[in-house]
Structure formats: structure tokens, C-alpha cells
């Protein structure tokens, strides 16, 4: 049984992510953990603070949070009839990322599904600040970010963006492999290059291992030239091949990290138009040339 965490702020954006999650796993047994965090806005409530104590402010915020979760749960049960789904609500007086990390650790969460607003601050314009903070902070659980207006489509085409400079373990790739197997999806490995050139020995080894892990899934390799930026290149690739979900591992110097660091001007147009699965690394280091030599027999 899967445990899925659904952070919500009761916006249309969050509701869209909730709908996507229920549709995505409609044929699987799941427990959905609906989370809302709250902190009384004392700093912006100067006039209210003169007449209300901190405790009263917290009580009001908690009541609003609990009522909001109850309304979301009612809405879900009115629309969806999935007997293999169960729901838990969590209302927490906490900061969002802190509470997510706590819940992931203590509830065996397999996946976090969150909505993205597109533009929410200049330095994180391409995905929304809360989503970026979750991705940067949660190191032991994949995050699936759903764009604000994206309507559920069965993910039969999945793109996996990689530069082959890092050795992936099968356990790191398993969240993507599970989705591909569930939906009989094609995985399109996309390698973005500034200039097209042959793979190094280590890159070729990592590609061979990747193909070994994906041996049970239909998969293809696409090498594409960079168009202005990594984010723009992946956006064009996704549009041209009608990709339904983009997957990336998040580690130092990865495409994901590059995209969060790209100059604002280069990624203004990239608003995560398709769901983005971000998988954290599990601490595996890159293989050395000697390691490649020792393991080459396995990859061949």
C-alpha cells in the first residue's frame, strides 16, 4: 500500500494536484495524507493583535485549517468512488517544509504530490517557491509537482533527463520505473548537450547501466542540442514528443540544480507545463575509471 502526502493550502492549484493524485493511483491501494500547516499571521495583523491573545490567534488559525481539510475531504468523497483509497488529515501548527520532513520520516511516505503556481518570486519563477523549497529540503522522498492548470493525462510517455555524468542506482530510479510499469509507459532518456560529442567512458558505462535497469520498460535515447538553456530545451522536447511527465534526479550539478540556478531571463518561459517528478539522490557517488573497469562485465 502506498502512502502519498498531499500538502494543501485549499487553493485551486492544490486541488488540481489532489485530483491528479487520485486519478494517477485510482487502481492502487493508497493512503492519502492531506496536510495543511498554519501559523497565525501576527505580523500582518497589528490591529487584531491588540485585542486578541496569541492563543486566540492560534485557535482561529487551527479552526480554519481543520475546517478547510474537512471540506477538501468532503469534496473528494462526493466526486470520487475509490474503495481502495483511504484518507487522513493533518492540521499542523508548523512551517510547511519542517512538517513535511517530519511526516515523511514517521509515516513511510512514498511520494509527495504538490501543486505548482508557475511564477512565485523572481528567483524561483519556474515552479513556485514552496515547491522549490520542498525539493531542495526533502532528501528521502520523491516529489511530483503538478502544474496549476494541467489536466490529468495517463502518463504513457515519460522523459528522463540526464547527462550520464552520475552513476544511478536502481533504487533511485525505482519511482520512475514503477510509474512506467504501471502505465506501460515509454521512457525517453533525453541527454541535453551544449555541443554534440561522443560520450566519455564513464558516461557510456552509466548509460549502459541505465538501460539495464530499464530493460523491462520500452525506452529510447534522445540526444538534443541545448537551446538557450536546459529548461527551454526540455520544454521544447516535451512539447514535440507529447511527453506527459518529466523525471529528473536531484543532486549536485544535475539538470534539476542547473534549472533552479539558471538566470531568470533564461527560464521565464518555463512554467513546468507538465508534471515534474524529482527524485532525490541516495548518496551514491560517481564511479571512478577503475570502478568502471571492474563493473563493465555487468553492464555488457
Contact between residue 107 and residue 35 where contact means Cβ atoms under 8 Å apart: no
**Residue 252 gets which letter from DSSP?**
T
| Angstrom distance (rounded) from CA 8 to CA 298 | 45
Residues 40-51: tens digit of each pLDDT: 654 444 444 444
State the span(s) of the chain assigned CATH 3.40.50.620. Answer: 1-152, 153-300
- The structure's pTM equals 0.83
Specify the CATH number of the domain 153-300. Answer: 3.40.50.620
The one-digit pLDDT tens for each residue of the chain (300 residues) are 999 999 999 999 999 999 999 999 999 999 999 999 998 654 444 444 444 455 676 788 899 999 999 999 999 999 998 899 999 999 999 999 999 999 999 999 999 999 987 544 333 344 567 888 898 889 899 999 998 888 999 999 999 999 898 888 999 999 999 999 999 999 999 998 877 789 999 999 999 999 999 999 999 999 998 887 777 888 889 999 999 999 988 877 666 666 655 544 344 344 557 899 999 887 544 443 434 444 433 443
Look at domain 1-152 and name its CATH class.
Answer: alpha beta
CA angle 174, 226, 209 (to 5 degrees): 30
Q: What is the CA radius of gyration of the chain?
A: 21
Amino acid at each position: 500500500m502506498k502512502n502519498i502526502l498531499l500538502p494543501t493550502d485549499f487553493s485551486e492549484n492544490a486541488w488540481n494536484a489532489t485530483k491528479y493524485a487520485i486519478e494517477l493511483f485510482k487502481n492502487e491501494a493508497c493512503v492519502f495524507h492531506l496536510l495543511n500547516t498554519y501559523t497565525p499571521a501576527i505580523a500582518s495583523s497589528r490591529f487584531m493583535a491588540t485585542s486578541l491573545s496569541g492563543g486566540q490567534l492560534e485557535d482561529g488559525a487551527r479552526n480554519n485549517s481543520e475546517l478547510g481539510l474537512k471540506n477538501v475531504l468532503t469534496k473528494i468523497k462526493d466526486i470520487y468512488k475509490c474503495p481502495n483509497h483511504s484518507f487522513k488529515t493533518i492540521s499542523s501548527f508548523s512551517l510547511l517544509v519542517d512538517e513535511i520532513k517530519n511526516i515523511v520520516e514517521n509515516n513511510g511516505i512514498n511520494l509527495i504530490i504538490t501543486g505548482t503556481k508557475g511564477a512565485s518570486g523572481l528567483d524561483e519563477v519556474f515552479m513556485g517557491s514552496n515547491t522549490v523549497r520542498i525539493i531542495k529540503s526533502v532528501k528521502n522522498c520523491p516529489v511530483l509537482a503538478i502544474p496549476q492548470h494541467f489536466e490529468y493525462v495517463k502518463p504513457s510517455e515519460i522523459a528522463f533527463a540526464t547527462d550520464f555524468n552520475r552513476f544511478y542506482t536502481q533504487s533511485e530510479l525505482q519511482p520512475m520505473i514503477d510509474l512506467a510499469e504501471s502505465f506501460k509507459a515509454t521512457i525517453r532518456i533525453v541527454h541535453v548537450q551544449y555541443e554534440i560529442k561522443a560520450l566519455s567512458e564513464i558516461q557510456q558505462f552509466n548509460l549502459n547501466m541505465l538501460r539495464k535497469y530499464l530493460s523491462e520498460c520500452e525506452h529510447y535515447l534522445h540526444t538534443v542540442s541545448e537551446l538557450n538553456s536546459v529548461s527551454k530545451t526540455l520544454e521544447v522536447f516535451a512539447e514535440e514528443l507529447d511527453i506527459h511527465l518529466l523525471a529528473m534526479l536531484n543532486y549536485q550539478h544535475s539538470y534539476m540544480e542547473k534549472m533552479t540556478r539558471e538566470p531568470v531571463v533564461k527560464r521565464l518561459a518555463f512554467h513546468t507545463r507538465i508534471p515534474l517528478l524529482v527524485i532525490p539522490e541516495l548518496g551514491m557517488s560517481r564511479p571512478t575509471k577503475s570502478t568502471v573497469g571492474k563493473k563493465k562485465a555487468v553492464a555488457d
